[in-house]
Chain A
Amino acid sequence: MRRILQNPLALTGLCLIGVILLLALLAPWIAPYDPDAIDVKHILLAPSGQHWMGTDGLGRDVWSRMLFGGRVSLLVGLVAVGISTVIGVILGALAGYYRGWVDTVIMRLVDIMLSIPSFFLILAVIAFLSPSITNVMIVIGLTSWMSVTRLVRAEFLSLTQREFVMASTALGAQDWRIIFKHCLPNSMTPVLVSVVLGIASAVLLESGLSFLGLGVQPPQASWGNILTDGKEYIQFAWWLSLYPGLAILITVLGYNLLGEGLRDVFDPRSNTR
């Protein structure tokens, strides 16, 4: 932990994410307005003391919508990556531990999934189901587990050759005990890095889907759909595009910095140590 705090990349990333998370968590208490309150008499107001980030095309307070939108974006990121990590770890562990035909089947599945452009797969699936937060989270989760699988499998391949694993095998430990007690805890480091980076890409994916109208549905705010609404007014209402863009940028940057930092900290070959 101390090493993480000493790493400038990780520390910057942590701070950025911390601030955004805090704002999103506290949204109901710090948002000055109801994020869905329509006020057609005050549409497209520029940022001012009253409305810090101005108002949108329906007179809704952008700052309040940004706060609540942040909750959606971060929730989607966390849940989607949670799903993909669980799938990825289980499949990776099975493939790496049992090898043989199990490995072949799982890794071919990974190859197949990797060969499909995932954004278009997600688009197609969402268009087929109906767009909603739950569906977006599940679909992103189900289409982004492959890298975790590969990482965990690689770790398991080397771990199963190590003495302590061989020893427990020799002692007659059951498979599940070896997998969960001995191998998994030792393969978590790369997974942690990939989880953090995965959140960044999930946040981006959600924004992209909402931007295309296939993510979070109105009136619920998300950074992606605030950005789409702003597109129409970009010629004169810059605040509708700038702030959600910045929020996405900062969040994704934060997670990427943290991920890179963690990799540096944990990687024995890293030169920043």
Chain B
Amino acid sequence: MTNRLSSEYSLCKKPLAAPSQRWVAYLLCVGLVACSTDTPDHSAKFFDQSYPAQPGGTLISAMPSDPSSMIGMVAGESASLAIGSYLFNSLLKYDQNLDLAGELAESWQVADDKKTITFKLKPDLQWADGKPLTSADILFTWQLITDENTHSPYASDYQLVTKAEAPDARTFIVHYSQPFAPALESWASLQVLPKHKLAGQDIRTTSFAQKPLGSHYYQLKEWRHGEYIKLEKNPKSVLGPANIDHLIERIIPDPAAQFLELMADNIDSMSMDPITYARIIPSRPALQARLNQFKELGNSYTYLGFNLKRKPFDDLRVRKAINYAIDKQEIIDGVYLGLGITIASPYKPGTRWSNPDLIPYTFDPAKAKQFLAEAGFEDTNGDGVVDRDGKKLSFEILTNLGNKQREKTAVIIQRRLKEVGIETHIRTLEWASLLTNFIKPGDFDAVVMGWGLGLDPDQYNIWHSSQQKPGQFNFIGYNNPAVDKLLEQGRLEFDPEKRMQIYHEFAKVLYEDSPLVYLSAGYGLTAIHKRVQGIMNPVPPAGVSYDSQKWYIPQPLRRTQIQAE
């Protein structure tokens, strides 16, 4: 697959560069060679020169999996949504400081009773094929997503709309039966689809999923399944044209293979794991010199979650004991090589929603033992494991197979819990099997997993007691009327200050209740070749890829140009 691509687009400077480096990699595998594999390149200075913005060029990135469809709102996969974000617009977007701004919408108004939102579209919007983009398209997309037959995983937020209407081509109005604060975020994530292409078609089988038509900066040019997706600049983009002509997303599932391609200069950007960032790249100065590396705190966290419906996890003292027995900093240092931070609330630290008064549970084995003793757990038979009523405190930790970071996390947790007399077994399961056979039926003791969060603070689906049916997100079985009430209030409140108070209180209750152990929030690490210029520095809160349409690749630094030299 890689060979075909390189020959077709002449990506390699020297045709032999990639195979020869691959050989070196094989030699490394058997441990015979341990030298740097970088071929001498243009000196770092060559890529350090900066140029004015100019259109043209091709940016090649790697993504780990092939989307099944280009309609992300229906497929519900991150790969589809990621490609979709180049093709389709939303009504609203987040600006660089994560405040809401208009994208297709010129303005929007929340009515006084907070139950109606009126969007006014920008004038003269059009699809890539020249047909006008109107409020009818938005109404159509809403109808499509909320249609029972579509089975969209994102339907629930949009189903709260009791009535949507498009009185004229530039006005779109939605009515809710009660105020719903996350609504604005939901309209910032709805990718608007063209009615004239999709009306009357079966959304599950339509060819549009393979040949989409959008209105955003890029449109699909070529898609070779399992190999690459090639996007081409959309000259009619509603937000004005992007700089870079072509984007190629190569599908390379294995991070190690991605890295080899980055080293061979066959891709321009990839996201890295902590080992690549902290150890491998620094050991290759020639490679490091031609890369810009970005480190930003991700909007996600890893946790040890308990099945609260099972004994002894229904006992707060046991949960607290486990929380105190785990050294989170040790996990961050050992597993993430220091590239993470401890957290005390389910929000990204430093954002408005994260409660600054909460301090992460410390590592305190003495306190852990004390809590265990209070809960009635003592080591009565001297086997090193505490017991209560003749039953020893022993449970199984599940995590997904192949996620080395989580596996290592589980091993560290196991070791620390053993020290306070808690016996654990680790079981790694393939992701799909973990979800269908254990998480959905609620058949587990504890899990090491992660939550990726949206930008809106609403976490109703994770924590509300009504969200415990099989397949829903509150699979740990958390049931707290105080939290339920706060989550409901948070959805009704539009004022950011008041919402902040609500979610700070929510985080505080969770903190006291310790339904799961927050392990860490990790950094997102991205490497981008220095030939790509115009990247916002320092990285804005919205992330490194914010405003990527303004990136450009100066003529002298483009691949074809290098080849011609």
Interfacial residues, chain A to chain B (CB-CB below 8 A): 36-38, 40-41, 43-44, 57-59, 127, 130-131, 213, 217-219, 229, 231-236, 238-239, 241-242, 245
Contacts and interface: CB of A to CB of B under 8 A. Distances in A.
B333 interface: yes
A245 B430 CA distance: 25
B408 A235 contact: no
Contacts of A57: 334-335, 408
B334 A38 contact: yes
Nearest to A39: B334
A130 B34 CA distance: 38
A238 B28 contact: yes
30 contacts: A38-B330, A38-B412, A40-B330, A40-B412, A43-B334, A43-B337, A58-B335, A59-B334, A127-B433, A130-B427, A131-B427, A217-B426, A218-B407, A218-B411, A218-B414, A219-B415, A219-B426, A233-B275, A233-B279, A234-B28, A235-B259, A235-B280, A235-B283, A236-B280, A236-B283, A238-B28, A238-B34, A241-B31, A242-B31, A245-B31
Contacts of A245: 30-31
Given A58-B408, A213-B401, A218-B407, A238 B31 contact: yes
Given A213-B401, A217-B428, 17 more contacts: A38-B412, A40-B412, A57-B334, A58-B334, A127-B430, A127-B433, A213-B402, A218-B426, A219-B426, A232-B404, A233-B279, A234-B28, A235-B256, A235-B259, A236-B280, A236-B283, A239-B31
A239 B335 CA distance: 19
Interface of A is mostly: loop
B197 interface: no
Given A58-B334, A130-B427, A238-B31, A38 B280 contact: no
A234 B255 CA distance: 13
Nearest to A38: B415
B29 interface: yes
Contacts of B433: 127
B29 A234 contact: yes
A236 B428 CA distance: 26
B409 to A, nearest CB: 10
B270 interface: no
B256 to A, nearest CB: 8
Contacts of B28: 234-235, 238
A232 B31 contact: no
A215 to B, nearest CB: 11
B279 A236 contact: yes
Given A232-B275, A234-B28, A40 B334 contact: yes
Nearest to A60: B411
B38 to A, nearest CB: 12
Contacts of B402: 213
B131 interface: no
Nearest to A36: B415
Interface in B357-407: 401-402, 404, 407
Contacts of B275: 232-233
Nearest to A40: B334
A217 B411 contact: no
Range of interface residues on B (Cβ < 8 Å): 20 to 34
Contacts of A127: 430, 433
Contacts of A36: 415
A57 B275 CA distance: 10
A41 B411 contact: no
B483 interface: no
Contacts of A232: 275, 404
A219 B29 contact: no
Nearest to A239: B31
A130 B280 CA distance: 35
A213 B426 CA distance: 12
B425 interface: yes
Contact of B333 (A41, A213, A219, A231): A41
Interface pairs A-B: 8 shortest CB-CB: A40-B334, A242-B31, A238-B31, A40-B333, A235-B280, A219-B411, A218-B411, A40-B330
Contact of B279 (A38, A44, A238, A239): A44
A191 B279 CA distance: 51
A205 B275 CA distance: 29
B247 interface: no
B333 A58 contact: no
Nearest to B284: A235
A241 B412 contact: no
Interface string B25-38: 00011110010000
Contacts of B337: 43
A231 B402 CA distance: 12
Nearest to A217: B426
Nearest to B31: A242
A36 B413 CA distance: 12
Contacts of A37: 415
Interface in B241-293: 256, 259, 275, 279-280, 283
A126 to B, nearest CB: 12
Nearest to A243: B31
B133 interface: no
A208 B243 CA distance: 49
Interface centre among A38, A41, A217 (most CB of B within 10 A): A38
B334 A241 contact: no
A238 B30 CA distance: 8
A241 B30 CA distance: 8
A128 B281 CA distance: 40
B30 A38 contact: no
